[in-house]
Amino acid sequence: MKVLVAVKRVVDYNVKVRVKADNSGVDLANVKMSMNPFCEIAVEEAVRLKEKGVASEIVVVSIGPTAAQEQLRTALALGADRAILVESNEELNSLAVAKLLKAVVDKEQPQLIILGKQAIDSDNNQTGQMLGALTGYPQGTFASKVEVAGDKLNVTREIDGGLQTVALNLPAIVTTDLRLNEPRYASLPNIMKAKKKPLETATPDALGVSTTSTVKTLKVEAPAARSAGVKVKSVAELVEKLKNEAKVI
């Protein structure tokens, strides 16, 4: 089967972000960017399905600025076969991204679409589900295990009280949770080979998708800072402070 994987270029998860002084957003100038960690897990799962002989081709797609080519090349180095970049310099909302992905899905006709459960910048956790609604495909969100069984897909999901398994008709959409797998590193020879793999580009206009949004960000602020705490010397002092000063026990 053909597998489509969506990846996003985001600020590296180790970076402590700063809010801009004019409250217009987060300062991303000269900040290290990487592939969203959940997207890495999505790529890894697709590559494992190919290694098992379940997936025949892996197409990786990203929607974002020209620089997102770096993340697509990373995915190619990890084992994806070809890449598609939908170029847009705007900051797109999940619905616009889902509509663009729907256009790519219509063209590519994958049997399985894997996305991360959320991007660590916007923390929305929406795109996979929205793509599910737009394509009419069933969704297996927050997946910690994925098994293809004939024309069905069994997905074990991480839910609030534990785990839940659902069976989905293919084609289907899966969004990855952290425990689905441990992504591999790209080897140097594979990074070199990835440079020769095909990468096509498109634009929202060419795909006939309007990316207008009904949500606008008025301002972005730093969260309220916690006042500095104290270090206590003993357990007795801690208990005394929790009882009498903080009054929480």
Partner 1 sequence: MATLVIAEHNNAVLGAATLNTVAAAKAIGGDIHVLVAGAGCAAVGEAAAQIEGVSKVLVADDAAYANQLPENVAPLIADQAKNYSHVLASATTNGKNFMPRVAALLDVDQISEIVSVESADTFKRPIYAGNAIATVQSSAPIKVITVRSTGFDAVNATGGSATVEPVSGAGNAGKSAFVSEELAKSDRPELTAAKIVVSGGRGMQNGDNFKYLYSLADKLGAAVGASRAAVDAGFVPNDMQVGQTGKIVAPQLYIAVGISGAIQHLAGMKDSKVIVAINKDEEAPIFQVADYGLVGDLFEIVPELERLV
**CA–CA distance from 194 to each of 28, 79, 100, 198 (Å)?**
27, 8, 25, 9
Applying CB under 8 A, among 33, 54, 178, 191 the residue interacting with partner 1 is 178
Q: List the interface residues with partner 1, window 61-100 (CB under 8 A).
A: 93-95, 98
Applying CB under 8 A, among 57, 65, 158, 184 the residue interacting with partner 1 is 158
Applying CB under 8 A, among 1, 2, 12, 19 the residue interacting with partner 1 is 19
150 lies in the site for partner 1, by CB under 8 A:
no
Q: List the interface residues with partner 1, window 188-217 (CB under 8 A).
A: 213-217
Give yes or no for a contact between 26 and 19, defined as CB atoms under 8 angstroms apart: yes
Amino acid at 8: K
Give yes or no for a contact between 166 and 155, defined as CB atoms under 8 angstroms apart: yes
219 lies in the site for partner 1, by CB under 8 A:
yes
CB of 192 to partner 1, least distance (A): 32
Binding mask 27-66 for partner 1 (x = CB under 8 A): ----------------------------------------
Give yes or no for a contact between 127 and 94, defined as CB atoms under 8 angstroms apart: yes
CB of 71 to partner 1, least distance (A): 18
Tell me phi and psi for residue 197, to 5 degrees: -75, 150
Query: What is the SS3 assignment for 114?
Result: strand
